Copies of this chain bind each other. A is one copy, B any other.
Amino acid sequence: MVTMRCMTPKRMQTVKVSLGPRSYPIHIGVGLLKRIGAWCEETGLGRRCVVISDRRVAPLYGHTVLRSLRERGFEVVPITVPSGESTKCLDVVGHCYRKLAAHRIERSSFVVALGGGVVGDLAGFVAATYLRGLAYVQVPTTLLAQVDSSVGGKVGINLKEAKNLVGAFHQPRLVVCDLATLATLPAREYRSGLAEVIKYGIIRDATLFALLERRMGALVRRDRAWLGPVVARSCAIKAQVVGKDELEGGPRAILNYGHTLGHAIEATSGYGTWLHGEAVAVGMIAAARLSRERVGLPEASVERIHGLVASAGLPTGLPPKAANADRLLRAMALDKKAAGGEVRFVLNRRIGQAIYGQRVPTELVRQEITRLTWLP
């Protein structure tokens, strides 16, 4: 059981991801963008950098970040890519490579990813592969990216066949979560991030889960008094899991609670139709019900999970169009975690503890998918 020491509001909190020589800090607080230049200097990064952002985030926060870096003497090349999941593709990666070559980016240069998960995954993959690896800094501006994708070093892009099929493990040197950037986030995207926060409670921290049950109203209103500690706690859980299993040989898989079906929902509906957190929300409902059937999660806990997901304004079921069990099962078999064509699930016996690598009979999965369908 994890203590709740970091759950009281503070000005800025720092969570450390402990990975030996690849360790790095995550700074969480309000108004941190203007401190990025100083932190990059402290971290000992090279004099030249590339700031990769997208057309939605660059106009909002690009100026602050560029100024912060330039004030500290960094030479900055900005690259702006289109926004949206379709940006995470090989063509955009090639576009970035060519920009880096044109601006004579060297091994000592670094990359700053300013944006949501799409930008972080794309820019991180570019950093992982350009000149066989450049240092990079994550500056996540969505809740989802702050609590999940910016931490842990998973970077990558999509193929049309499935999400994140191409990628690498490449840890950032620094993560800066400025909670102020969440103010401009569309409500639907913000709620999508709450799905991952709920996931941390389910898989690792019953106290966090209970706090979320009490404070979901404040969180949905983006109340910073609760947002700061909740983001910090989420990052701390992710850091702890990643610190024990950097390359996902085993226990890191628990972070995929709700993701097996979630990824399949995203893939079969065309990327962008469902937000990641929305798909994961439905996936968590399914995982909770499968946990009841397979490992004895009490019905009351299934109901609490359902209630918390619903209170965050997240979907708890599938519209009939999305609930094609055959297509979803096929997409799951293509999941990166599938082995021998067999899908494994992350399940939980109780709230706060998850187990990975669980077999579930296909017929039971099919049955749960059917149960998830909204009645017309």
- Residues of chain A whose beta carbon lies under 8 Å from any beta carbon of chain B: 47, 90, 93-94, 97-98, 100-102, 104, 106-108, 128-133, 154, 156, 159, 161-162, 165-169, 247-248, 333-334, 336-341
Contacts and interface: CB of A to CB of B under 8 A. Distances in A.
B97 A90 contact: yes
Contacts of A131: 165-167, 336
A94 B90 contact: yes
- Interface centre among A97, A166, A333, A334, by most chain B C-beta atoms within 10 angstroms, is A166
Contact of A132 (B101, B107, B167): B167
A248 B131 CA distance: 11
B133 A166 contact: no
A161 B247 CA distance: 32
B166 A97 contact: yes
A162 B94 CA distance: 14
Contacts of A132: 154, 156, 167-169, 248, 336
A78 B301 CA distance: 49
A161 B98 contact: yes
A132 B154 CA distance: 8
Contact of A161 (B101, B248, B338): B101
B339 A166 contact: no
A130 B158 CA distance: 11
A101 B128 CA distance: 22
A339 B108 contact: yes
Number of copies: 2
A98 B248 CA distance: 24
Question: Which has the most chain B C-beta neighbours within 10 Å: A133, A154, A165?
Answer: A165
Contact of A104 (B93, B154, B166, B334): B334
Contacts of A97: 90, 159, 165-166
A107 B154 contact: no
14 contacts: A90-B90, A98-B161, A101-B159, A102-B161, A106-B336, A106-B340, A106-B341, A108-B339, A108-B340, A129-B167, A130-B166, A132-B168, A133-B168, A133-B169
A156 B168 CA distance: 14
B336 A101 contact: no
Nearest to A126: B166
A336 B105 CA distance: 9
A128 B168 contact: yes
A168 B166 contact: no
A129 B90 contact: no
A101 B133 contact: no
Contacts of A108: 339-340
Contacts of A100: 165
A95 to B, nearest CB: 10
Given A90-B94, A131-B336, A341 B169 contact: no
A106 B335 CA distance: 8
A90 B98 CA distance: 11
A327 to B, nearest CB: 16
Contact of A129 (B101, B161, B162, B166): B166
A371 B87 CA distance: 49
Given A108-B339, A132-B156, A339-B107, A334 B101 contact: yes
A47 B132 CA distance: 29
